[in-house]
Structure 1
């Protein structure tokens, strides 16, 4: 995995140019308390039911939909890289909004690349790279081959580490993943491209926000309504990639 320090050093070492009905669980006997709480939360969550109704793989689809509605990130014809895509709801949203499945004949057709270290079941309209750790050179090289020299309009990162329960450690780990996605975005994005990454609130939040401002014209912090109340997650939305000068 790309370390936080290495990614920060890489990014700060680059010079710039100008160039989104409730149910109650039963038969909980024998389940752990944490499992019972998770089931109660899932079954009482309106976004879980809404995701089922709209054929999204999970509730996080509504986070990207709201981010897109607020910040106008995705549109037909765009090329999108979705890092940490499993189970695939963000890629489903991206496919629809970029017309990567070609459903709208009158609109340009986009491309969506979905990458995750876990298996991803096929997504209509997306190019899937499952069982592939985005933070490794091998996966990124494989993705570059698929891009075949084409530059990217949007890099999305919903990547998150396995939580340890140690707040500062978990925060550092998710920031490291965001920096890994940002490092890749700086290398493959076209001018005026966008970058979206999930982080958990903590001591490095302001620092990564400031780093983004070096490379993007506009940087916003957003917390969609679909984010659970108890979660400290927020999304960095950067637009208007300025380009790089090595």
Structure 2
């Protein structure tokens, strides 16, 4: 296996498994029962356990990076909305920030989130920090000590209100805040990956990205559920 790369075998972890039904559903609502059944039979949930990732979302970044090679040994990466830390785990592997391969340059991973994040070797976390606040930018600049990042990552999302348009608007607003941060701290030629939900403001976000990056495209990895409106913007070659 190549260093830091997960082979496609994880795609077939549950290929021969029979569909299972959750037990002890007494007192659970229909929605809760459906969620439990989906989790129990989700191949990416099973693969996350097998490969010791903190959640299934790791495979979204793995697929994007396998295809587009955004993360490389020696890179500095900022992971926005990092909790519980699955994307940071992938970034640590790909940029060699834990020094797991002494023959390769050692990178750096900094994660930011409003929530607590359990410690992860090779990553530094700014927990209890809101990316929309100026104080978070100040704290990040202090950590970087004048250096710049090669990549910004975001799988963040607001707490759901149940109103799709409002949730979509709030997520786009969070992405724009991250983009303002990246505009200050991203190296020329750097990259950005951010999650968005399809909706009226997705084009606004894409247009903003296009003013700052030479190449902007939409991607939807296999780990994004088909029924979800989730998509990712991949922006490369930061213009400065």
When normalised by structure 1's length, the TM-score is 0.88
1:73 and 2:80 aligned: no
* Matched-pair contact (CA < 8 Å) for 2:131–2:174: no
Structure 1 partner of 2:158: 161
Picking from 116, 123, 130, the partner of 2:127 is 130
The answer for unaligned runs of 5 or more in structure 2 is 1-16
Shift >6 Å, 4+ stretches: none
Measure the CA separation in 1 of the matches of 2:20 and 2:111.
Answer: 32
Q: How many residues align?
A: 223
For 2:34, which of 37, 41, 44 is the aligned residue? 37
Partner in structure 1 of residue 86 of structure 2: 89
CA distance, structure 1, for counterparts of residue 38 and residue 120 of structure 2: 27
CA contact (8 A) 2:218 2:233 kept: yes
Partner residue in 2 for 1:47:
44
The equivalent of 1:9 in structure 2 is: none
Deviations along 1:73-114, one digit per CA (max 9) or x if unpaired, are 100000000000000000000000000000011100000001
Provide the rounded CA distance (Å) in 2 between the counterparts of 1:161 and 1:85.
13
- The aligned residue for residue 10 of structure 2 is none
Query: Counterpart of 1:168 in 2: which secondary structure?
Result: helix
1:185 aligned residue: 182
| CA distance in 2 between partners of 1:58 and 1:159 (Å) | 13
Q: CA deviation at 1:225?
A: 0.3
Q: For residue 23 of structure 1, report the CA deviation from its aligned partner.
A: 3.5
Query: 1:28 is matched with which residue?
Result: 25
Distance 2:176 2:105 in 1: 31
Give per-residue Cα distances to partners, 1:186-210, cap 9 Å, x unaligned: 0001110001110000011112112
What TM-score results when the alignment is normalised by the length of structure 2?
0.91
Q: 1:140 aligns with which of 110, 130, 137?
A: 137
| Structure 1 unpaired stretches of 5+ | 1-20
Do the aligned partners of 2:73 and 2:95 also contact (CA within 8 Å) in 1? yes
Q: How far apart are 1:227 and its partner, in Å?
A: 0.4
Cα distance in structure 1, aligned partners of 2:28 and 2:166: 29
Question: Per chain length, whose mean CA-contact separation is higher, i.e. which structure has more relative contact order (CA < 8 Å, sep 6+)?
Answer: 1
8 Å CA contact retained: 2:198, 2:229: yes
Structure 1 residue 58: deviation in Å?
0.2
Aligned counterparts of 2:100 and 2:193: Cα–Cα separation in 1: 25
